[in-house]
Amino acid sequence: MPDDNITQIRKLEHIQIITKRNTQYREKTTMLELVGIKPNGGAISKRDVDIESELLGLPVSAPLFISGMTGGHPATLGINRNIAIAAARLNIPMGVGSQRAMMENKELAYTYDVKKFAKELILIGNIGATKLLVYNDGQIQRMVDSIGVDMLAVHTNPGQESVQPEGDIDFRGVMGRIIEVARGIRQPVIVKEVGNGISREVAARLNGKVYCIDTQGAGGTTWIGVETYRNKSKYGGAFWEWGIPTALSVLEARSSFNGPVWASGGIRTPSDVVRSLAIGAERCGMAKPIISSERSGGSDGVYSFISRMIDGIKEEMAGLGFQSLKELRQAKVTFKEPLRHILKDRGIKAK
Ligand SMILES: Cc1cc2nc3c(=O)[nH]c(=O)nc-3n(C[C@H](O)[C@H](O)[C@H](O)COP(=O)(O)O)c2cc1C
């Protein structure tokens, strides 16, 4: 079967597995539940809480974004369209899934091209780090320009690739290529994982070289789990729990990377968002809850889910006495065991 057919079919399989099987970490959590926030003491109302911010100079209504998921099969256009319309109505950024399929077959570009439905959307493109070894900077530039992306997310996923039947496990030269591409294309580059987290060491190597680290840590969807189902073997089971929990990944990246750090991987509740911001994340991303709400309720389903999250974030911030994101980011935080011990061991400070 040609490569582009395999890539297309895989995109559909991923959605089916994620929405029908339990592909979440079983024991490992994000560790966000181990983060405590000292209340600010202010008596305020939810109506006073301001969670607006800017991204690339553009206004964003909440410290949220939709993590890259799909595109590349004709059936994914409707999903991307529904998500894009909801994201634009709410004024939050959205990522598309890996654009590899459109690189292999340019006729599939329309399945990612969501700005035709939502002109104002802040759109994040997506490509696997190993694919940067295959395509030159000019080809990557054309890939992002053809759907009008504002930023490009490059995903590193050694865990997933190791378990994926057709996985690409030769990562030699990838770091250098990420840095070259970040210099070579016009759009800012984000480096993201897919649910296994980014370490302090990797973040340090990317410091000053890429725009942002999107942790996509452990505790939510495990792609080793997804590929284990696709593989129909027990091989991946041994690695199911592999990865750096999201809270730890944010704190690790914060300690060695001076640019924005985004928290993602297992973000499910307003508390997860508030705690992530308090430990230094700029914004929080979600994948699984978005595809689930789209599959059950279409664009309105995504809109309602995110609206409830936004409401919950404001409620929680008001309860803790924080009126703005700036105040929340200056909050005093405490860590419960075992997170406290791990941070001490690694010499990582709260902020
Ligand atoms: C249906 C689906 C498809 C995904 N496809 C991609 C992809 O093409 N590229 C990518 O970088 N991440 C992809 N991801 C990973 C997410 O961006 C995210 O890193 C991961 O699911 C962890 O977030 P969660 O716990 O909120 O699901 C996908 C996730 C889902 C749910």
Nearest atom of ligand 1 to the alpha carbon of 221: 25
Q: Is 63 exposed, middle or buried (0-12, 13-18, 19+ CB in 10 A)?
A: buried
Nearest CA to ligand 1 atom 19: 194
Could you give the CA distance from residue 245 to residue 243 in angstroms, rounded to a whole number?
A: 6
The pLDDT of 234-248, averaged and rounded, is 84
Q: How far apart are CA 351 and CA 348, in angstroms?
A: 8
Comparing C-alpha atoms, which of 121, 172, 176, 130 is closest to residue 151?
A: 121
Atom of ligand 1 nearest to the CA of 192: 11
Q: pLDDT at residue 221 above 80? A: yes
The average confidence (pLDDT) of the chain is 93
Residues near 233 by beta carbon (within 8 Å), at least 6 away in sequence = none
Place of tokens 């929680």: 316
DSSP state of 189: E
Give, using CA atoms, the residue closest to atom 4 of ligand 1.
Answer: 69
Whether residue 123 is contained in a domain is answered as: yes
Q: Is residue 73 part of a domain?
A: yes
Pocket of ligand 1 (CB under 6 A): 14-15, 18, 67-70, 97-98, 126, 155, 192, 194-195, 216, 220-221, 264-267, 286-288, 291
The reply to whether 180 falls in a domain is: yes
Percentage above 70 pLDDT, the chain: 96
CA of 145 to the centre of ligand 1 (A): 22
* 223 touches 175 (CB < 8 A): no
Which residue owns the Cα nearest ligand 1 atom 6? Answer: 69
Residues 6+ apart with CB under 8 A from 231: 163, 164, 165
* Ligand 1 atom showing the smallest separation from residue 98 Cα: 8
How many Å lie between the centroid of ligand 1 and the Cα of residue 256?
25
Q: Residue 233 — very low, low, confident or very high, per pLDDT cuts 50/70/90? A: low
Does any domain span residue 25?
no
Q: How far apart are the first and last CA of the chain?
A: 51
pLDDT at 44 over 60: yes
265-296 residue pLDDT tens? 999 999 999 999 999 999 999 999 999 999 99
Q: List the single range of 5-14, 141-150, 294-303, 334-343 with lowest mean pLDDT.
A: 5-14
Provide the domain limits for residue 287. 3-12+30-346
The answer to whether residue 334 is domain-embedded is: yes
pLDDT at residue 229 above 90? no
Whether the Cβ atoms of residue 278 and residue 331 lie closer than 8 Å to each other? yes
- Ligand 1 atom having least distance to the Cα of 286: 26
Cβ contact 96:67 at 8 Å: no
Residue 90 sits at φ, ψ, to 5 deg, of -90, -10
CATH, residue 185: 3.20.20.70
Q: Tell me how far the alpha carbon of residue 318 lies from the centroid of ligand 1, in angstroms.
A: 31
**Tokens 């070894």 sit on residue:** 133
Average pLDDT over residues 122-135: 97
pLDDT of 223 strictly over 60: yes
Q: Determine, yes or no, domain membership for 22.
A: no
Total domains present in the chain: 1
One DSSP character per residue, 70-124 reads --SSTTHHHHHHHHHHHHHHHT--EE---THHHHH-GGGGGGT-GGGT-TT--EE
Q: Is residue 213 part of a domain?
A: yes
Q: State in Å: Cα 43 to ligand 1 middle.
A: 38
Residue 21 located in a structural domain: no
